[in-house]
Amino acid sequence: MPSAPTRGPLMIIGGAEDKLRKRTILKDFVVASGGHDARIVVIPTASSLGPEIVEVYEALFTKLGAAEVTTARPESREDAHDPGLVELLEKATGIFMTGGNQLKLSGAICGTPFGEAIIDAHERGAVVAGTSAGASIQSSHMVAFGVGGATPKQRMTQVAAGLGLVSSTVIDQHFDQRNRYGRLLMIVAQSPQLLGIGVDEDTAAVVEDVDGHEVLRVTGRGSVTIFDPARMVSNAHEARRSAPLLASGVMLHVLPAGSAYDLTTRTLVPQAHEVDDTEAAEIAEAGRDLRQLARDIAASDVSPTNLRRRLARNRRRVTPDETPASDGGMA
Amino acid sequence: MPSAPTRGPLMIIGGAEDKLRKRTILKDFVVASGGHDARIVVIPTASSLGPEIVEVYEALFTKLGAAEVTTARPESREDAHDPGLVELLEKATGIFMTGGNQLKLSGAICGTPFGEAIIDAHERGAVVAGTSAGASIQSSHMVAFGVGGATPKQRMTQVAAGLGLVSSTVIDQHFDQRNRYGRLLMIVAQSPQLLGIGVDEDTAAVVEDVDGHEVLRVTGRGSVTIFDPARMVSNAHEARRSAPLLASGVMLHVLPAGSAYDLTTRTLVPQAHEVDDTEAAEIAEAGRDLRQLARDIAASDVSPTNLRRRLARNRRRVTPDETPASDGGMA
């Protein structure tokens, strides 16, 4: 009996991912999808653009080495029942949802065979990625639309239902660039069981199953901001019209590339300690000196005065390729 | 022997306070300064404007009923040693520092007799208010300048020393309008003993001594945002160049008008519960019915059937001025 398949990674991209230079995020997507064996399906339903949006992503994924890149573009709920489109998703190793209008995307696919096929692909191990609108739709509760601003105000944004690939969350994108602290805080103030996740442009929150935990890793140029309102005090039930909202006691995490957050336990994953090269060279040099000293002491009695002299001599000893260790450390 | 005087209130205003319509914040300042007995000194040193900035505030405070409004404008550290200017502050019941460039203001007055006279005025009970630059300078650690953006990045802002009227804090202003989440988070990520306080435009954080606690109350149109990094994890010591910073586990409080925060204990002050008028009328009506019912039961045995009938009758009973209670509640 085969064991249950592991769910595939989710890539939640905050929009405007780099397409011209390093292309870190798009490259990661192709590699995670199988590289030269990748069968990628692009879903541009959210976009208001025509073939040009498809051409860009098809060209990029092909250039990055994918074996096969096709497009599935349901424009209506009718289209989203087309078995031909659903079949494309069933064969995919990677699915990429473009930016645009997330309500157009969710309105066309959520609760249809096409929408279910995206969820199934995730369950069987395929990569599901989306940028901007394609990021928002991955959460259980989706920001439909709203205004920018740092301060949360009643009615500044609307929530609709997303695909629910990440449960108990609301995801927002272009977070830094469009100043969306306020609207994401408004949503968690009204729904304190949700975790609010804001993703900056050219930044990805990569969610993977790690030993039964959902772990979110950050890659790219910006940060991922997380609001955990579990212990929050709010006046969301009684704030009037567009009044600023009370949201006191929200746990805030701002996570740059390289950091990771456990969505299951809602805690930061401790980071490996970064070693400073100069400091490491200095301490290695000191270690060599100390070992020499230990040998000297073992060989003969050394008076404290001689010991100090020897130490001073060792500190001055500089080989042609080295600068003195005492100059190399942090100020 | 006289008891030690109580420190005066501080009014930390986020800039662009309403000057034309309700003028809530400026009115509060004049009232707190003594109303018709108020002797107000305006300090426009931060401003790049000439007499026009002085004229605006002098006209406003006079119109709002202050007994006396004068201006003290040291433009250099030399000026800030002028006994005449210092004497003005010694007689003031209210001091108002205008907006402009906070480094110009702090550069001229901090560590001078004029700067000390502001601190002394606060100690003896005078109101010290400031808007924008005049707000920033009140904290112990002052945002000198920096760029906007929601995501904290290394080197995005500079800290200088402020007057320190509020200790262990860094205050930022125009918080919502200029998207200053990032720079305030950068500062607390580097200095986790500080409390970060961001004040929106036309909003005031009023800090007063309440039973030995420093309590911050919010008034005006926007919110006051507080970052408490006491339990934060950060990589601020090793983030390079302008890299986004890790700031995980920051306690966030967004406080609209009417809410209050205890700076001494770093906790929200519980708010009085707001009563909905319709709900109150409904429950009062139900109370009257129940009292009548209790009298009926005491007067005679009532069969369950009769009891239900009487209850139904009571629910239908509507006086000409009342709508049925069952329609009045919240949906």
Q: What is the pLDDT of residues B123-132, one digit of tens each?
A: 999 999 999 9
pLDDT value at position B307?
65
Q: Please compute the mean of the pLDDT values over residues A171-188 and round it to a whole number.
A: 94
Percent of chain B with pLDDT over 70: 88
CA B140, B145, B148, B154: dihedral to nearest 10 degrees?
Answer: -80
Per-residue pLDDT tens digits for A155-164: 999 999 999 9
Percent of chain A with pLDDT over 90: 76
pLDDT value at position A278?
79
Question: What six digits make up the tokens of B226?
Answer: 């507080």
**Closest by Cβ to B255, choosing from A225, A239, A246:** A246
**Closest by Cβ to B175, choosing from A150, A198, A200:** A150
pLDDT value at position A222?
96
Domains and CATH numbers, chain A: 10-269 (3.40.50.880), 277-328 (no CATH)
pLDDT score of B320 more than 60: no
pLDDT value at position A279?
79
Q: Please compute the mean of the pLDDT values over residues A285-308 and round it to a whole number.
A: 72
Q: Please compute the mean of the pLDDT values over residues B167-190 and round it to a whole number.
A: 94
pLDDT value at position A107?
93
CA distance A200 to chain B (A): 8
Per-residue pLDDT tens digits for B252-262: 999 999 999 99
pLDDT value at position A271?
80
- Of B243, B245, B244, B227, the C-alpha closest to B235 is B245
Per-residue pLDDT tens digits for A101-155: 999 999 999 999 999 999 999 999 999 999 999 999 999 999 999 999 889 999 9
pLDDT score of B64 more than 70: yes
Q: Is A252–B256 a contact, with Cβ atoms under 8 angstroms apart?
A: no
Closest CA in chain B for residue A272: B235
CA distance B272 to chain A (A): 11
> Which residue has better confidence, A277 or A174?
A174
Residues in B touching A274 (Cβ below 8 Å): 235, 238
Q: Please compute the mean of the pLDDT values over residues B182-210 and round it to a whole number.
A: 96
Establish if A119 touches chain B: CB-CB under 8 angstroms. no
- Of A207, A206, A202, A205, the C-alpha closest to A222 is A202
pLDDT value at position B325?
40
pLDDT value at position A326?
40
> Which residue has better confidence, A207 or B158?
A207
Q: Please compute the mean of the pLDDT values over residues A228-238 and round it to a whole number.
A: 94
Q: Which of A190, A248, A262, A271 to mutate against chain B (most B CBs within 10 Å)?
A: A248
Q: How confident is the model at residue A330 (pLDDT cuts 50, 70, 90)?
A: very low
pLDDT value at position A285?
81
Per-residue pLDDT tens digits for A235-275: 999 899 899 999 999 999 999 999 999 999 999 999 876 67
Establish if B230 touches chain A: CB-CB under 8 angstroms. no
Residues ≥6 apart with Cβ < 8 Å to B180: A150, B148, B172, B174, B198
pLDDT value at position B311?
65
The residues pairing with A157 across neighbouring beta strands, listed in sequence order, are A146
Pairing verdict, β A195-199 and A223-228 = antiparallel
* Structural contact between residues A207 and A9, judged by C-beta atoms closer than 8 angstroms: yes
Q: How confident is the model at residue B83 (pLDDT cuts 50, 70, 90)?
A: very high
Weakest mean pLDDT among A91-95, A275-279, B164-168, B219-223:
A275-279
State chain A's mean pLDDT as an integer.
Answer: 90
pLDDT value at position A98?
97
Q: For residues B128 and B139, give the distance between their C-alpha atoms in angstroms, rounded to a whole number.
A: 12
> Which residue has better confidence, A277 or A307?
A277
